[in-house]
Structure 1
Amino acid sequence: MELFTALMLLFTISVSYALAKSVIRRGKECYMIDYECYMGKKKMQLNTEECAKIVARNKNLQVEDYRFLLQTIVNSGLGEETYGPRNIILGEEEHPKLADSLSEMESVFYDTLDNLFSRSKVSPSDVDILVVNVSLLSAVPSLTSRIINHYGMRENVKAFNLSGMGCSASVVAIDLVQQLFKTHKKQLAVVVSTESMAGNWYCGRERSMMLSNCIFRVGGCSMLLTNDMARKNQAILKLKCMVRTHFGSNDDAYNCCMQVEDDAGHGGFRLTKLLTKAAAQALTKNFRVLLPKVLPFWEIVRYAVCKTGTKINLKTGIEHFCIHPGGRAVIDEVGSSLGLDEYDLEPARMALHRFGNTSAGGLWYVLGYMEAKKRLKKGDRILMISLGAGFKCNNCVWEVTRDMNEPNVWKDSIENYPPKKMMNPFLEKYGWINDDVVSFIKPEEIAKMRGFA
């Protein structure tokens, strides 16, 4: 009888604690009501022919540089329909103007926000918190001020402009919103994640800096979040947990992704071979904190006991994996280290193929692919893995609060994915550049021969 009484007392205490915790957290939850990814215009597409023209008109390159670019483009995992900035397509990359960058930003901002406000039936004047993250552009007035002015938002809107945060900035922005939700009740927040490509095209010949031209493309996403329980039924996702890891004290990790100028003064973004190593180290540190929060206790125990030669089974607590589409090597490395199969990696690979590396906005194209494929069901958990300069690894887990199958940025192309053939046609059309017979020809002569100049 005493044992029964003790067990009942323990049960009562546990239930009371859970209820009290629930009451305390009420109003501090973070729900996502909707999101909208940017779809560029047809005239912005960087297909094979357009990429070849841009490469060929760079008079600083030697034949060996063309060969390097060919190999990189062929192996990039990008397809024929990614989007580039208007000034680059028009051949003005050597002398970018501030107006080019601002025009690019406004296209992403207003296209995504107009659709987001229209679909959610939320007025811009209802927004309490606005966070914009663009790493490579800091304007005055700020980018948040431009949005506030454009939509006539309230004078007491809390505005935050994040710069220099890299490809994982979207999760950083959401974490900022989540922290604000803890002290401000019944809030509506908008997060806008994109990157400035127009003013950051590299025109030199340092190979570690040429890589960014091959993989980064125009894109972005706007998200609407709330902690207002009255809007809970509108939500599509609920944030379960988030862990941010900063590996900047490690010199190799710090230097592997950096905005710099080369010896000739050409500005650009340097990506070194140490990037994948830094990503693996940061991801490992992050998961030591994150996984105990989301995986069942028995899986943690199993892994601890059988650690030698085994991998932890993430699928015991996670149904979907939203990996930052930073590049083919990054996706491969993350997939291999986590024991994921091709089904798990498909959304990231397809987002990279269709839209390229859109920096902080990339995660949401991956999520959009899952939704378009009708993979996301109520109760499913999604692990978002984001990696960025600094070096940072910012990961979070969402719970799907209702079946997700609304039309999105993939609606006109999802039936073609995954494509039967992933090979980039650049190799088929321009493989001649690898021939030794052209090694003595100057780049401008190659351009004339091929009709690029």
Structure 2
Amino acid sequence: MELLMMAALVLAIPLIMSCLVKLVNQWKKQSSCYILHYECFKPSDDRKFDTEIADKYIMRNKNLGIHELKFLLRSIVNCGIGEETYIPKKVILGGEESLSLLDGISELDEFFYDTLDKLFHQTGVSPSEIDILVVNVSMFSTEPSLAARIINRYKMREDIKVFNLSGMGCSASLISIDIVQNVFKSYKKAFAVVVASESIGPNWYSGNDKSMMLVNCLFRCGGCSILLTNNPTLRHRAMFRLKGLVRTHLGASDEAHECAVQKEDEQGLRGFHLSRNLPRAATRALSENLRELAPKILPLKELLRYIIVSWLIRQPSPPLPDSSKSTGGGGNNRTGPTVRFKTGVDHFCLHTGGKAVINSVGKSLELTEYDLEPARMTLHRFGNTSASSPWYVLGYMEAKRRLKKGDKVLMITFGAGFKCSSCLWEVMRDLKDDNVWRDCIDRYPPKDLVNPFMEKFSWVMDENPENFSRD
């Protein structure tokens, strides 16, 4: 046995040395990137999508037949959200089919100015000090750009570096941070602001295509603004430091490209189509992404263990991580080793794409209910707020006083295309700042996560359509 261990070690040394050289070179090239502060948006209470509002909305949609209604209600019941998520006022009032360009702009302006005002106030940084601005709203674009509206409102400098992203999906906030990190390489002691949200009102689907109805069950109003810097003299004020970021894009695959697409249905109604191939695309994207991320964030001891165990069981070294345990299915028949991400990560900040997404990623990474709690509770309280979702999850961890100096937080997001982006943050100080969870954190996690939609719409479990009436 000792001879086998020695032989495995000898075989592993070249790979280990190669990884170390690569990591050292990347570290030398990479600029420091710190988060000084972030703010998540909390809409007013009159925009909450409770069971009463849901009932009124569903019953007034005349495009839905009995079977479509039952499908929609089942989806709401099973999606994992509660009664306190937020939707646009005009949808609540019944005007979703007549939303104008101005309605869309007003929806985003409310979020922009609320979070940015708080961000500048909390940090003492002036808008005139911002060197880089990145704005991402995937499904709404204007001329001038949304970024230009922010620059005009806050009278930012003429030489500010501006990026206005669209179509990047739920993974957009980490893509924005990757852009900032790269621009930081050319500018010393700079400030950057990342603004992430989604346009819900103009993209609310009012048709009866089941593949497009699901989006209304999950996506809700929200957004965040993040202040970053590469100034090392401000590290004592920082909340987080970026340790590594990886982006994976499967757009070359037709199946992956077409699994999440904005389109019009047969009636000409615009919506967002989610195909049955999405879980498989997510599986592959996550596996490819973490394979690249693992050597950058895991301790050498864990990488060495993985290599040795792989050799001892006489099989080719499998990819990092074990793709057979990734999201969305596939067989779990292989007996090869798995990468233990918890050896290098203290907290997991998962995108709230839905209950099934959270469960699948948790199973893939062998996470506990404690690890999954922040994502589950964020989905229940705020729903899927697209690119801003992981920051609400991070806010939950902070509000629960989980984040201590030196902790490592792995953030994982998915997006149409199909994309997976992930990064590792190091907590720079014990975090206990007040945030968007301040008014409700004491209620989470509840002892019994009651599903009010199940109670309201329990009749949808009745398979007999004749028992249903709109009255």
Task: Compute the TM-score of the two structures, normalised by the length of structure 1.
Answer: 0.91
Q: CA deviation at 1:298?
A: 2.1
SS at match of 1:282: helix
8 Å CA contact 2:306–2:337 kept in 1: the answer is: yes
Paired letter, 1:227: N
Residue equivalent to 2:159: 156
8 Å CA contact 1:202–1:209 kept in 2: the answer is: yes
SS at match of 2:359: helix
Does 2:431 correspond to 1:419? no
Q: CA deviation at 1:259?
A: 0.3
Paired letter, 2:235: K
Q: CA deviation at 1:23?
A: 11
Residue equivalent to 2:87: 84
SS at match of 2:296: helix
Q: CA deviation at 1:211?
A: 0.1
Paired letter, 1:203: S
Residue number among 162, 176, 191 corresponding to 1:173 in the alignment: 176
Does 2:354 correspond to 1:351? no
Residue number among 331, 345, 357 corresponding to 1:330 in the alignment: 357
Residue equivalent to 2:114: 111
Residue equivalent to 1:398: 425
Residue equivalent to 1:199: 202
Does 2:45 correspond to 1:59? no
SS at match of 2:422: strand
Paired letter, 2:449: M
Q: CA deviation at 1:157?
A: 1.1
SS at match of 1:193: strand
8 Å CA contact 2:241–2:425 kept in 1: the answer is: yes
Q: Distance in 1 between matches of 2:309 and 2:365?
A: 16
8 Å CA contact 1:70–1:427 kept in 2: the answer is: no
Q: Distance in 2 between matches of 1:325 and 1:340?
A: 15
SS at match of 2:96: coil
SS at match of 1:411: coil
8 Å CA contact 2:136–2:196 kept in 1: the answer is: yes
Q: CA deviation at 1:165?
A: 0.2
Q: CA deviation at 1:172?
A: 0.2
Residue equivalent to 1:301: 304
Residue equivalent to 1:127: 130
Q: CA deviation at 1:24?
A: 5.7
Does 2:271 correspond to 1:244? no
How many residues are paired up? 426
Q: CA deviation at 1:431?
A: 2.2
Residue number among 412, 434, 442 corresponding to 1:385 in the alignment: 412
8 Å CA contact 2:74–2:460 kept in 1: the answer is: no
RMSD, matched Cα? 1.9
8 Å CA contact 2:136–2:195 kept in 1: the answer is: yes
Paired letter, 2:207: G
Distance 1:438 1:290, change over 3 A: closer
Distance 1:329 1:22, change over 3 A: closer
Q: CA deviation at 1:440?
A: 7.4
Does 2:363 correspond to 1:321? no
Paired letter, 1:82: T
Q: CA deviation at 1:422?
A: 2.1
Residue equivalent to 1:14: none
Q: CA deviation at 1:309?
A: 4.1
8 Å CA contact 1:124–1:152 kept in 2: the answer is: yes
8 Å CA contact 2:67–2:465 kept in 1: the answer is: no
Residue equivalent to 2:436: 409
Paired letter, 2:420: C
Paired letter, 2:391: W
Percent of paired sites with the same residue: 54
Does 2:258 correspond to 1:255? yes
Q: CA deviation at 1:200?
A: 0.2
8 Å CA contact 2:51–2:83 kept in 1: the answer is: yes
Residue equivalent to 1:13: none
Residue number among 216, 228, 244 corresponding to 1:225 in the alignment: 228
Task: Compute the TM-score of the two structures, normalised by the length of structure 2.
Answer: 0.87
Residue equivalent to 1:3: none
Paired letter, 1:306: V
Gaps of 5+ in 2: 1-20, 311-334
Q: CA deviation at 1:436?
A: 5.5
Paired letter, 1:406: D
Using the TM superposition, name which of 295-304 and 181-190 deviates more: 295-304
Residue number among 247, 269, 286 corresponding to 2:272 in the alignment: 269
Within-5 A mapping of 1:24-43: 28-43=31-46
Q: Distance in 1 between matches of 2:459 and 2:361?
A: 34
SS at match of 2:98: coil
Residue number among 440, 457, 468 corresponding to 1:430 in the alignment: 457
8 Å CA contact 2:189–2:230 kept in 1: the answer is: yes
Q: CA deviation at 1:313?
A: 0.9
Does 2:122 correspond to 1:95? no
Q: CA deviation at 1:273?
A: 2.2
Residue equivalent to 1:278: 281
Residue equivalent to 1:372: 399
Q: CA deviation at 1:361?
A: 0.3
SS at match of 1:94: helix
Q: Report Cα offsets for 1:178-203 as digits up to 9, x if no partner.
A: 00000111110000000000100111
Q: Distance in 2 between matches of 1:305 and 1:399?
A: 29
Q: CA deviation at 1:21?
A: 7.7
Residue equivalent to 2:317: none
Q: CA deviation at 1:328?
A: 0.5
8 Å CA contact 1:168–1:393 kept in 2: the answer is: yes
SS at match of 1:155: coil
